[in-house]
Amino acid sequence: MHLSTLLLSTLPLALSHPNHAPFEPSPPPTETTTPSLSLEFTSDTAFTTALLNSTNTFRRAHNAPAVVYNTTLSAFAASYLDTTNPACAFRHSGGPYGENIALGCADARGCVELWGEERGAYDFGAPGFADGTGHFTQLVWKATTDVGCARRWCGDTRGWFLVCEYWPRGNVLGLFGEQVQAAESGVGRREGVWWLGLLVWLVVWF
């Protein structure tokens, strides 16, 4: 995992989000992977397959129907990264879709798993948007049917910038109880997810 610049962000709908910059991560531990070599980032087919498989694995576990890959969404994400934000500023597009972003993951599946494993911190008994679980709730939001993602190489220090768009968008305030379901017993509550908190700089703008 590429840890030096790992940043994640997601947005709730109907909350204002101040336009502040995410804090800078601390210096990295030893790197074990070179992100630029990840097939999941360099091959379009591997990228799409990894994202869909990983996304739908989490959705299946939380009783949400599988999403399909939508090129309107992926084209929007690509346009944002390559045209609107080519300098890789870590911020959201402000577009009409649900959006999870991450910077510095080693591969596409790894990004989705970091988002999904936030479920270990989600309180299904008190549904709602919370810092640190917003990627997960968007990922498994039942009413979302389509996903589309793009990535941009932001240099050796920062790694890959991944942007995923979701439609219809999730994280709609007031609907978390019906839209985010607990996993079947035995799934979704893994011991040891808390170590992620030590490794991941998590930024949720709200």
Ligand X SMILES: *[C@@H]1O[C@H](CO)[C@@H](O)[C@H](O)[C@H]1NC(C)=O
> Which residues of the chain form contacts with ligand X (CB under 6 A)?
53-54, 57, 70, 72-73, 109, 112-113, 146, 167
Residue 55 beta carbon to ligand X: minimum distance, rounded to whole angstroms: 8
- Any idea of the CA torsion for 147, 136, 98, 167, to the nearest 10 degrees? 40
For 97, phi then psi, to 5°, come to -110, 165
Residue 63 beta carbon to ligand X: minimum distance, rounded to whole angstroms: 16
DSSP calls for the chain: ---TT-EEEE--BTS----PPPPPPPPP------GGG-HHHH-HHHHHHHHHHHHHHHHHHTT-PPPEE-HHHHHHHHHIIIII-TT--S-----SSEEEEEEEESSHHHHHHHHHGGGGG--TTS-S--TTTHHHHHHT-TT--EEEEEEEE--TTT-EEEEEEEES---BTT-HHHHSPPPSTTSS--TTTTHHHHH-EE----
Q: Which is nearer to ligand X, 72 or 84 (CB)?
A: 72
Q: Which is nearer to ligand X, 13 or 113 (CB)?
A: 113
Residue 174 beta carbon to ligand X: minimum distance, rounded to whole angstroms: 22
In whole angstroms, give the CA distance from residue 87 to residue 186: 43
Residue 97 beta carbon to ligand X: minimum distance, rounded to whole angstroms: 7
Q: Which is nearer to ligand X, 104 or 110 (CB)?
A: 110
85: amino acid identity, one letter: N
Residue 148 beta carbon to ligand X: minimum distance, rounded to whole angstroms: 7
Q: Which is nearer to ligand X, 6 or 73 (CB)?
A: 73
Residue nearest to ligand X (CB): 54
Residue 26 beta carbon to ligand X: minimum distance, rounded to whole angstroms: 27
Q: Which is nearer to ligand X, 33 or 57 (CB)?
A: 57
Q: Which is nearer to ligand X, 113 or 142 (CB)?
A: 113
